[in-house]
Amino acid sequence: MLSKTKPTKCTAKVNAMKLRSLPLSGYFALLFCVLPGAILLLTACGKQGAESISPTPAKPIVSTFVGDADCKECHKKEIEAHQNTRHAHALRLVNDESMKGDMPAAGDLTGTPFQWEKLPNGYGFGLANEASRPMHLAFGSGKSGIAFLAAMGNEAMAEAHLSYYPPLRKWFVTPGQASLPPNTPGNLIKREGALQCLGCHTSTVPENTLLPEEKLLGVRCESCHGAGSIHIDAMRRKDKAADNYEKMGTWGAGKLNDACGRCHRTAKDVETKSLDGTLTDKFQGFGISQSKCFQKSGDKLSCIVCHDPHTDTPQKSSPYIAACLRCHSVGGSSSTAKPALMQSKICPVNAKDDCIKCHMPLRSRPLFEGSPRRIADHFIHIERNKDKPQ
């Protein structure tokens, strides 16, 4: 039964500690003391995020994260496709330049005890009658909720009690904080949990802070392809043998879905992290893995059969229907330029159209009462009884 479960917000297993359990003055002190340190560290970039691939034991070479700008000279097409996507904006700095139209208006937040305050160097959140705390990071591209967090040195992040929903210009209680007293400014997320958030919303984080470098914020080229310095060196020297990047398009579906599923959740995540297995919409890697289309197609149904990894989802269903028809049409023919993948069964109800509406329907996953958030069920199946989806 798909119950209206409490919003799980990525169901990250965060080590959240109730702010209430700290003396409030301690919270302020911690926040304001660690801040200068955090800012210093933010500008001290360099040796973080190394990924060892050591091709020969004698001379280990380490690939480091460089940022998208360094890919542009050779991959203009991918850069242009990707730069304004939801992936690229999955994590942003809290300033007008990066947030643009998604920045909430400053002022007291009507109907709540809180304010969103414009500060000399950014924005802050707090009780309307007190000094607000500077917020550094905005999680979420603005398609649905945006959560605001303050990096507190290397130890923790503070998450604002309210999150913002740009499509409706509305504030709502941050998922996971509903049980806190209504005038609590926020939650503390300890380092271990904060690193989990950052691991899925950015390429890499420096060792001594919880603030990623600006050029590495969001799901970037290197989030999927890995740290880029070795590839770039190899390509500049035209030494293909030294290239460590793989052609992901040649991977089997299982391997590719696991790569996307690192953030979009796999069957293994659901099993080992006790995630709610009815959420086949939110956990897309898991959802696909449960589908007969995946299980019986011989490693063919990967995310990129339906999604272009470098762009957002198109706001129409025709590309997805074309994807279904690469396996479910007479003679295996397809209505697009893309070749058939295999010949599977034909729908007795509608062999040509509207597949998504019936077999991958949108599920309501409200972030607050009346929230319009809906996510396509990635468990492709036949819904025999609408009241009892499996």
Q: Is residue 219 at the binding interface for ligand HEC, with CB under 6 A as the rule?
A: yes
Query: How many residues of this chain bind ligand HEC (CB under 6 A)?
Result: 107
Question: Could you say which of 116, 124, 306, 363 contacts ligand HEC (CB under 6 A)?
Answer: 306
Identify which range of 48-56, 92-100, 104-112, 315-323 contacts ligand HEC by CB under 6 A: 315-323
Closer by beta carbon to ligand HEC, 47 or else 131: 47
The residues in 343-382 that bind ligand HEC, with binding defined as CB under 6 A, are 344-345, 347-360, 375-376, 378, 380-382
Question: Could you say which of 30, 42, 127, 304 contacts ligand HEC (CB under 6 A)?
Answer: 304
Distance CA 109, CA 124 (A): 12
Identify which range of 51-59, 93-101, 205-213, 322-330 contacts ligand HEC by CB under 6 A: 322-330
Q: Is residue 18 at the binding interface for ligand HEC, with CB under 6 A as the rule?
A: no
CB of 205 to ligand HEC, least distance (A): 12
CB of 35 to ligand HEC, least distance (A): 19
* Cα 34 to Cα 5, 40, 132, 137, 225, distances in angstroms: 37, 10, 16, 16, 33
Closer by beta carbon to ligand HEC, 145 or else 212: 145
Closer by beta carbon to ligand HEC, 127 or else 248: 248
CB of 222 to ligand HEC, least distance (A): 6
Distance CA 92, CA 212 (A): 10
CB of 286 to ligand HEC, least distance (A): 8
Q: Which residue is nearest to ligand HEC (CB)?
A: 249
- Return the ∠ at Cα 130 (arms to 126 and 136), rounded to 5°: 35
Distance CA 99, CA 105 (A): 12
CB of 145 to ligand HEC, least distance (A): 4
Instruction: Pick the closest to residue 89 from 202, 169, 221 (CA basis).
Output: 202
Instruction: Pick the closest to residue 145 from 118, 173, 115 (CA basis).
Output: 173
CB of 89 to ligand HEC, least distance (A): 6
Contact mark string toward ligand HEC, 138..157, x via CB under 6 A: -xxx-xxxxx----------
Closer by beta carbon to ligand HEC, 2 or else 232: 232
Contacts of 159 by beta carbon, 8 Å cutoff, 6+ apart: 16, 147, 148, 149, 174, 177, 186, 187, 188, 189
**Cβ–Cβ < 8 Å for 28, 188:** no
Q: What b/e string do you get for 107-138 counting C-beta neighbours within 10 Å, with b at 16 or more? A: eebeebbbbbbeeeeebbbbeeeeebbbbbbb
Closer by beta carbon to ligand HEC, 92 or else 124: 92
Contact mark string toward ligand HEC, 228..257, x via CB under 6 A: x--xx--xx---x--x-x-xxx-------x
* Cα 298 to Cα 280, 325, 326, distances in angstroms: 21, 17, 14
The residues in 179-218 that bind ligand HEC, with binding defined as CB under 6 A, are 189, 193, 196-197, 200-201
The residues in 47-106 that bind ligand HEC, with binding defined as CB under 6 A, are 66, 68, 70-71, 73-75, 78-79, 82, 86-87, 90
CB of 25 to ligand HEC, least distance (A): 25
Distance CA 379, CA 302 (A): 13
* Cα 338 to Cα 7, 252, 305, 372, distances in angstroms: 38, 17, 10, 34
Closer by beta carbon to ligand HEC, 128 or else 389: 389
Q: Cα 153 to the chain's mean position, in Å?
A: 23
Distance CA 150, CA 18 (A): 15
Question: Could you say which of 133, 136, 282, 363 contacts ligand HEC (CB under 6 A)?
Answer: 282
What tokens does 151 get? 């990096």
